[in-house]
Amino acid sequence: MSSSNINRTYLKVDRACAELRRGGAVVVRLPSGEAAIFKAVEIAHDNDIVELKTMAGSGTLLVLTANRMSSLGHSIGQNKPCATLSSAAHSAARAFEMALGQPATDGPQSSYTIIPEKAGSLADNTTRLLRVAKLIPAAFMARLRFRDIAMQDRWALENNLLIIEARDVDHYNEDAAASLRETTRAKVPLALAEDAEIIMFRAAAGGEEHFAVLIGDPLGRDAGKDKPPLVRLHSQCVTGDVLGSLKCDCGDQLKAALGLMARESNGILIYLAQEGRDIGMLNKMRAYALQDGGLDTVDANHMLGFDTDERSFLPAANILQTLGISKMRLITNNPDKIAQIAAHGFEISERISLDIDENPFNADYLKTKKTRTGHLID
């Protein structure tokens, strides 16, 4: 895909996310011409159910992810990422409860007709766009009754609506990572590593900013460098990295990784803008609130409709390629991180574990990482 097409896709999806975050409606369209108008449930209003029905000419459906449905006590089958729920009565209060509240005792099947939706469907595209916008992946959606693309374009223009093609959603994350460019670099002596340089990266069309911290000489510019650089892919954690939260091990891992790199004067830390396993700060706090009620970190994410881990390490892979790195000693306990980086063609000569002491506040969290997500924790 050309750079101009990447920029166009990126900007369209960014505009759609901004519209959804302010409570507006967006139209999503499949290659077949099938289209639907939808809004985010978490910032919708009671009258939006009727408004969407009136605009589209068909009934408004509630879209929930498979994880949310499972939390509500209903399995929708394998390879079905989401489901649409319809009801003749369409109680707005009930719909909001289904999407955002604690599981009801009578379950979703009591008043809703549940239709599992396949990957790539209109419903699936609505939840994927909401994830990009860092909103709860639950939508009010109404299918358009006409498939003529020219007619849809005129209708959208008349109603001041943005149409997003399914292919734009499909390529968004890949295009954003592919268009990452170095924007600036500067020497920044750190408390744990005085010989440090920070290199900023931003997608060509704007958006999230990631950065790399080079400690010592990881690119092998000095003669005699006989070891691959130590590499740490670290996802942003404001609560742990900045505030010193005791609920997770992120801040301690960041400091430990920088300390290892400083001792060898040979390391690269990629700091990724992926707060809360890429569900965003607000949703991370919602997950924390659910953990206060007794759920573990995995079940809390599922209750909100998200996957266990929403992160992609493609941005990190592209940054490492830009820096000329092909072989590394990877500092991680996460097997998924190892698999993703290896899948992008990097040679991992060694895995360096990060053994962080637990405390009374993160003991259950560390246990969950070990038993439910397979982290390599002793």
Residue numbering of the annotated binding site for Zn(2+):
237, 248, 250
d(CA 296, CA 304): 13
d(CA 216, CA 261): 8
- Torsion 193-233-172-180 (CA) sign: positive
- DSSP one-letter code for 234: E
d(CA 169, CA 347): 31
Binding residues for GTP, by number, are: 232-236, 253, 275-277, 297, 332, 337
Residue 249: active-site member:
no
Residue 311: active-site member:
yes
Catalytic residue among 131, 311, 355, 372: 311
Catalytic residue among 278, 309, 336, 372: 309
d(CA 377, CA 122): 40
CA angle 369, 311, 230 (to 5 degrees): 75
**Contact at 8 Å (CB) between 200 and 209?**
yes
Give 254's contacts (C-beta < 8 A, 6+ positions apart).
234, 237, 240, 241, 269
> Which of 369, 353, 187, 214 lies closest to 277, judged by CA?
369
Binding residues, by number, are: 232-237, 248, 250, 253, 275-277, 297, 332, 337
Q: What share of the chain is helix, strand, coil (3-state, %, to 5)?
A: 40, 20, 40
Give 375's contacts (C-beta < 8 A, 6+ positions apart).
333, 334, 335, 369
Task: Give the residue numbers marked as catalytic.
Answer: 309, 311
